[in-house]
Structure 1
């Protein structure tokens, strides 16, 4: 497979899976195992193109962000709570991620871990869908601070490849009484500081390799970024519609089937 085809394929995988509760990192790890390419060569690429998906959220919700920025200039309490909730929910992942960075990297080398996490996470989604009552907390700014802290710590489960950052935060929010649409949107917005932090860390760690031209070049990263951005634009709107009408069960069954199939393939090869 040529580098260009791989770049486009991985950009599509990232754009489709970043905001669905199916684990974008897990899918990229499985793609490495299934397609047989050198994961170390594509490591920085896989991290940086996540920013393309993040940009899609900024574009889709630009009115929300503009309203928050305008509100901050007026010292509006709702805008202040919106930003506070995002920053507070982000802090646990920032602190724990830095402390456990080496251990997380070791997990990233295990496709089997991804498969098991996909399967277990699928059953967890089905359990939560059937047992948790619909919450009444609507609006990111209206989520109480203790629940925000809880969601922030739940997001840290996504450091295990295959768990899914969006899945952990959305289902964590649902379990804490947040209604579906707000839970999904809070997950989208929380991805911005989380992915910016992860990308900055990865770029600093690999700055010498990038300067020397190692791995995928800046041109390839730019193509993957654009592909991930365009695909994420389409997927996020579709996802919100599906969640509102049918809940998260379709994604749970996908996780179970995909994780089981990939696990059988890995163990049989």
Structure 2
């Protein structure tokens, strides 16, 4: 069953190539000055929503999968986008440089971040009781909730600081680099296999599936360590979930608790990342992409994320990370062979 699920994820990414071919049959245009066709179709949005939802909380890198999917769907191009009036959408990177046309690739990469709203909503619904405890803790009415809130804030701070400092450089250097994504998939897989071997065969540090503290019992130091691991996921293809679950393992959490802490930390991190992208690039993205497909993709991501989260907690408690590591390696090999990049 689990092997078939991993096969499904890989097939979704690769099969989208054929779906794209079917929907992008050359069309003739009788108006050279008319606006460009919508760069994100409903079928694109459904595919991206499924890929985002399944991969966001699995330790296989949602951003990496979405970048690869964008490449297969042809959404990573440098083609300038026109607005509904037929004018090019212009952006200005620096006040000293003249404005330039906004591209399909930039709009699609922005959507890769914004579509995480669906995954965020899934965690809010599934973990509403824990989130309520955190809110009550912030009001001084729940000691465990207050401690968990402090742990999550401490874990979030490293990504907030480093992300703001390196965000522009990361987008310019690694944002849509398929080769970098494939490399990160392999490096992350190796780390996962090493940590799983340590977890099962280590000495005193090995953690059994039901051992370890609860997530509110982490120390500030342990929470910051998990937050530093999360920063590794700024390299697209690494996987925020993988990095924080591995950090949770090393902090002494069981697989179940490591996954739950990863989900809750992701709630903060993904909200911040999506919010930042909406503020910095949202106006251009909305002007470039039709609202219908954008919202549909988020809805599909919400449904598939909820299913993936429920499955992952049970699976990790029984089997650990090894299967995901081998899947990452298989996907990286497929990227190099199929995409030829």
Q: Identify whether the pair has TM-score above 0.5, normalized to the shorter chain.
A: yes
TM-score between the two structures when normalised by the length of structure 1: 0.94
Question: Does the CA contact (< 8 Å) of 1:13 and 1:24 recur in 2?
Answer: yes
Give the Cα separation in 2 of the matches to 1:14 and 1:181: 22
Contact 2:52 2:62 in 1 (8 A): yes
CA contact (8 A) 1:115 1:262 kept: yes
Instruction: Determine if the alignment matches structure 1 residue 180 to structure 2 residue 255.
Output: yes
- Are 1:97 and 2:97 an aligned pair? no
| Higher relative contact order (CA closer than 8 Å, sequence separation 6+) | 1
- CA offset at residue 74 of structure 1? 4.5
Are residue 8 (structure 1) and residue 54 (structure 2) matched? no
1:149 aligns with 2:212: no
Pairing 1:125–2:186 present: no
Does the 8 Å CA contact 2:116/2:270 hold for their aligned counterparts? yes
Aligned residue among 164, 173, 177 for 1:110: 177
User: Is this contact kept in 1: 2:140–2:146, CA < 8 A?
Assistant: no
CA shift for structure 1 position 176: 2.2
Q: Does 1:258 pair with 2:331? A: yes
Deviating more after overlay: 132-141 vs 67-76: 67-76
Question: 1:160-179 counterparts in 2 under 5 A?
Answer: 160-179=235-254
Residue aligning to 2:289 = 216
Aligned with residue 75 of structure 2, among 37, 57, 61? 37
1:197 and 2:197 matched: no
Unaligned 5+ runs, structure 2: 1-19, 24-40, 77-104, 200-205
Task: Please give the alpha-carbon distance, in whole angstroms, between the structure 2 residues aligned to 1:73 and 1:102.
Answer: 36
Sort the Cα spacing of 1:19 and 1:83 in 2 relative to 1 into closer, same or farther, 3 A: same
In 2, distance between residues paired with 1:263 and 1:87? Answer: 38
Moved more, 18-27 or 140-149: 140-149
| Aligned residue number for residue 248 of structure 1 | 321
More helix by share: 1
CA distance in 2, matches of 1:263, 1:113: 11
Give the number of aligned pairs: 266
Residues 72-91 of structure 1 show CA distances to partners (whole Å, capped at 9, x for unaligned) of 44433211111001111001
1:55 aligns with 2:121: yes
Larger radius of gyration: 2
TM-score normalized by the length of structure 2: 0.75
